[in-house]
Structure 1
Amino acid sequence: MSRKLISAAHSLQLVPVYDIIHFGVVRSKVVIRSIGKPDILTIVPGTLKPGDSKNEDVYTKKHTFKLADVSQNKTLYLENLKATPFVALYIDETGNTRVSGSPDYPLTFSFEIGGGLYNCTLSGTGPGVDAFL
């Protein structure tokens, strides 16, 4: 019996737009340079669901994921993320690093608490699908 490898998107990093010093897109490839370190979110495995939908010439991006360990400090940290526009980096289902959002079309963060987890969403719009790093 052969084994099948099943993978899910993972390894989410958030780069605040104000930390980006260079950003360029050539076809489906992104070049990004930033100062500081990105916010690395430890998501519940298997819960990152990247999503793009096209309406005329605009793509709507909605990426959902879950975070564990509901606490007062973590809630305060996530509340601070809500006030910051981001570019997100993640590893897709095939192992490629993808970039979602841009300084001109940043993503916004939102969350709610339910079932002992944070149900989080990154959303925004843009001119194309998530590019490759």
Structure 2
Amino acid sequence: MFTFFGLFADPISDLPRQISGVWPDLKLIELQKPILAIAGRFGEDRYVPSDEDIPEGIVLATERLSSRISSARFLLLRTECWGGDCANWGQIIRDGRTAFQADGDGALRRLIGYWGVDIGPREIFEPLSRSFNWG
């Protein structure tokens, strides 16, 4: 089984510092494709992989960050894969509130679509591969 919980945000000046102020242990990387974003993968100390939720504390902290930097889009994303079958769900946060939520078929495609990118019906998103280097 593969499980993932991550944060993606627009690469706005000073945002990495502010994210690190909230989660000092979250290692941030810069994505160039398929979306231009800063990203971090939360460890299992921040969520319970068997629970199908996005922890409320992380949502609230992200909403607070978003209210301070209203021009930034934030994506909280959960993924679980068994064999080749994956389930994705998450939410887009803007202006201090959840602007969009998605789960079920095509959820990852719809969420990434907020960046103006279509990852296609197969929903291939490189940061979710086992071989992706999160540092």
Q: Which has the larger radius of gyration?
A: 1
User: TM-score with structure 1 length normalisation?
Assistant: 0.35
Structure with more helix by fraction: 2
Using structure 2 for the length normalisation, give the TM-score: 0.35
